[in-house]
Structure 1
Amino acid sequence: MSSPATVGRTDAPPAPPASRPDAAAASGRAGGFGGRRRYHEVDLLRLLAAVGVVGFHFLFRSSTTDPVLADTGFRDPGGVFHYGNIGVPLFFVISGFVILNSAWNRSAVSFLASRVGRLYPAFWTACTLTAVVMAFDPTDRFTVSFTQWATNLSMFSEAYGVDYVDGVYWTLTIELAFYLIMLAFVRIGLTTNRIIGFCLGWLALSMVHAYIPAPDWLQLVLVPSWAPYFVAGMLFSLIARDGWKWKYVLPLGAAYLCCGRWAIHYFNALSDKYDVVYSPIVIAVVVTAIFAVFAAISSGYTLPGAAKVAFLAGLTYPLYLIHENIGFIALDLLHSDMGINRYLVLAAVLLGVGAIAWALHVGVENRFSRPLANLITRTWTRIRGVLRARVPALVG
């Protein structure tokens, strides 16, 4: 059944054509256009991005800051791990693809509830655990206050000028901004023309921002520095559902150019911060590879056996939340203070944060995400019923 937002609209996306390789799967497994199917290849990309970020933190960033965050004995072995932070832009492309795919034919309340349920239970737990470990940090590298922890629980402490409990949380603020943008779309009605128009406008803002910095409030709300990655993911999501059309291809080409420009800018800033050289050729090749892989996925190509290991992607979010400061403290304590072999320490810490991530996934995400989403939906339904009874014109 179509939502009120798409009934009668000529620009609402049609069902995938039967000739496309993924048409049967999209129709049979997800209920046709507007349904939500699982892309196991995207799950693997999410896992790859998480591994890259963990490698960047443990094998490069930890020992290259001043003062060092953790004396691990590793300083970018092979000269490759400083590229691991490419996982961050990849996360945003994945988010654009997945979130738009999940938003079709959903009410605003359903979309908001699903996002809150997905993000917050694991985040609240990880933030609290990280704060406790930092409060009793035997290496004295990290400190945290009660106010800082409490403010961080909102997930947008940056808006209040409060430092993050863990440095990786900065990307969550950007994700929240994107979710709010998508929530607005869901509320007014998702159509392909509206999405394309917004994507073009968002890319234009991003390029203007590259030369004339936007006000701080606009950067917080519309994240122009990261917009091209979300746009790319959204356009690939449309292509996956509707096939390759010029109205998607041309904006996608613009997004590709913008992603390349902002990726080089981002890694140039990291070059200055960490005093290491990032090759623009490597960055361009990686960005091109990301687009090529998503083009293949959007065209319906599948990776044999992907479903068998894609379940590990369920660990990526809790692993991302939990690994950095707790990992730094453990690495420094075991290697620097206790003198244990660095390879044994690295293996032990990886296993440790992996085990914590698994516990968060199984014990928190699987147990509380859906109930929280259902609670939000039920609460709003009751509130709306009361408002409708008392102020019909207000609710409609």
Structure 2
Amino acid sequence: MGTNYAMSSSTTTSDRIGTDSAPVGDVTGAAVRASGTAAARATGGFGQRRRYHEVDLLRLVAALGVLGFHFLFRASTTDPVFAHTGFHDPGGIFHYGNLGVPLFFVISGFVILNSAWNRTPIRYLSSRIGRLYPAFWTACTFTALIMAFDPTGRFSVSFQQWIQNLSMASEAYGVDYVDGVYWTLTIELAFYLVILAFVRIGITTNRVIALGLGWLAISMFALHHPAPDWLNLILVPAWAPYFVAGMFFALVARDRWRWKYVPPLVVAYGVCGRYAIHYFNAQTDYYHVLFSPWVVAAVITAIFAIFAAIVSGLRVPGAAKVAWLAGLTYPLYLIHENVGFISLDFLHHDLGLNRYLVLGLTIAGVCGIAWALHVLVENRFSRPLAELITRVWLRIRGAVLARVPALSER
């Protein structure tokens, strides 16, 4: 268990409200941005063009919650244990850290819709590939190497498993994840593909509302009538309500509060709460530890309340000064679980070091690796990869249109 953050992924310049990045000097990109700005003005504007540092802080909270869940609860409560840490959910609170996952998905819905608005399909797709895959390929490879030489003997990985995991969709063909947190990335990919189809059709406010309500209806239906596996993989009905909630909050951020946004958000809140309680009831059975439905409902309520406050103008003093740390959340999410388990078990169980020292060293270690991934991989390769994909596509498209002019009329 692990966001996108997916975890959702950290907001880049192209993820800011009302912006659309393109390769420097690209005339088509400039035209898209210009037309996008004009269209936005025609539909009531984008609201405030700014980076939501408060959302970055929420991303940090979600990442720390998931890390605490893994290191202080999950590592030592499974059978067999992933790591002998000496910690067994101190205070009885860290098993709730997994509520960071729904928060990640709400953030993703908020960020990705704004990132996709007024973009062409290829620019949206290339930006997502560039944003996710370089760090993922590196983290997956690093984790596989650590597992291959695991001194604790608790983890193993095959070459074929590693290769198939590089697609980020190994679940689709029944291959175990190299690291358990990757399951959320498959869900993120499903959401990205839905938005890609939406970009192709053309994003408008009313279409977002229609998509959101339709997706919520499918989710509610799936609560009582289990969907086939292929539909679950594509439409992720158990997790879609969180993405939809983020999308509706993105509409409010772009267009301010309007009555037409309130009923969809109320419905999204109800469906999110229902799915959260359903999911954490299953977690109670799995871990044999109570996940109180009252606590779960309170956290979901807090997520909605905080987002409502943020899109209504809430400003957190000093948020901009620490929000840069949100750039570390995606690589930290990717790297922390199995690498952290191996470190915790080896240092505490095998070497006999003090558990608090081991916890501190492990957290510092995975944070250091995350920083290296962010600086050496994300910052260097994400944008160049996105631009390369865009250039290659435009050249291929230009060559095809030159040979088959009739296609340009469609």
* TM-score normalized by the length of structure 2: 0.90
Distance apart, 1:244 and its partner CA: 1.1
1:26-58 alpha-carbon deviations (Å, 9 max, x no partner): 2xxx4xxxxxx3110000000100000000000
In the alignment, does 2:158 pair up with 1:128?
no
Residue 112 of structure 1 aligns to a residue in which SS? Answer: helix
CA distance in 1, matches of 2:43, 2:98: 35
Residue aligning to 2:314: 301
Q: Map 1:1-396 onto structure 2 (within 5 A).
A: 13-16=43-46, 23=47, 26=48, 30=49, 37-396=50-409
Structure 2 CA distance for partners of 1:71 and 1:7, relative to 1, 3 Å: closer
| Two-structure CA RMSD over aligned residues (Å) | 1.8
Note if contact 1:6-1:12 (Cα within 8 Å) is conserved in structure 2.
no
Residue 197 of structure 2 aligns to a residue in which SS? Answer: helix
CA distance in 2, matches of 1:8, 1:203: 31
Alignment-mate amino acid for residue 222 of structure 2: H
Residue aligning to 2:7: none
1:260-282 alpha-carbon deviations (Å, 9 max, x no partner): 00000111111111000011111
Residue 195 of structure 2 aligns to a residue in which SS? Answer: helix
1:184-207 alpha-carbon deviations (Å, 9 max, x no partner): 111111001111001101000000
Structure 2 CA distance for partners of 1:252 and 1:140, relative to 1, 3 Å: same
Distance apart, 1:394 and its partner CA: 3.0
Note if contact 1:11-1:192 (Cα within 8 Å) is conserved in structure 2.
no
Residue aligning to 1:33: none
CA distance in 2, matches of 1:224, 1:361: 32
1:317-359 alpha-carbon deviations (Å, 9 max, x no partner): 0000000000000100000011000000000000000000000
Alignment-mate amino acid for residue 208 of structure 2: I
Regions of 4+ moved over 6 Å: 1-12
Alignment-mate amino acid for residue 314 of structure 1: G
Note if contact 1:107-1:187 (Cα within 8 Å) is conserved in structure 2.
yes
CA distance in 1, matches of 2:403, 2:167: 32
Note if contact 1:5-1:189 (Cα within 8 Å) is conserved in structure 2.
no
Structure 2 CA distance for partners of 1:128 and 1:7, relative to 1, 3 Å: closer
CA distance in 2, matches of 1:387, 1:183: 22
CA distance in 2, matches of 1:224, 1:375: 34
CA distance in 1, matches of 2:297, 2:256: 26
The aligned length equals 379
Residue aligning to 2:28: none
CA distance in 2, matches of 1:106, 1:195: 15
Structure 2 CA distance for partners of 1:261 and 1:12, relative to 1, 3 Å: farther
Unaligned regions of 5+ residues in structure 1, if any? 17-22, 31-36
CA distance in 1, matches of 2:305, 2:359: 33
Residue aligning to 1:19: none
* TM-score normalized by the length of structure 1: 0.93
Paired-residue identity, %: 72
Does 182-191 or 63-72 show the bigger shift?
182-191
CA distance in 2, matches of 1:384, 1:335: 57
Distance apart, 1:237 and its partner CA: 0.2
Distance apart, 1:141 and its partner CA: 0.5
Residue aligning to 1:20: none
Structure 2 CA distance for partners of 1:393 and 1:44, relative to 1, 3 Å: same
Note if contact 2:32-2:119 (Cα within 8 Å) is conserved in structure 1.
no
CA distance in 1, matches of 2:308, 2:262: 10
Distance apart, 1:105 and its partner CA: 1.3
Alignment-mate amino acid for residue 15 of structure 1: G
1:353-384 alpha-carbon deviations (Å, 9 max, x no partner): 00000000000000000000010010001001
Distance apart, 1:245 and its partner CA: 1.3
Residue 68 of structure 1 aligns to a residue in which SS? Answer: coil
CA distance in 2, matches of 1:260, 1:272: 19
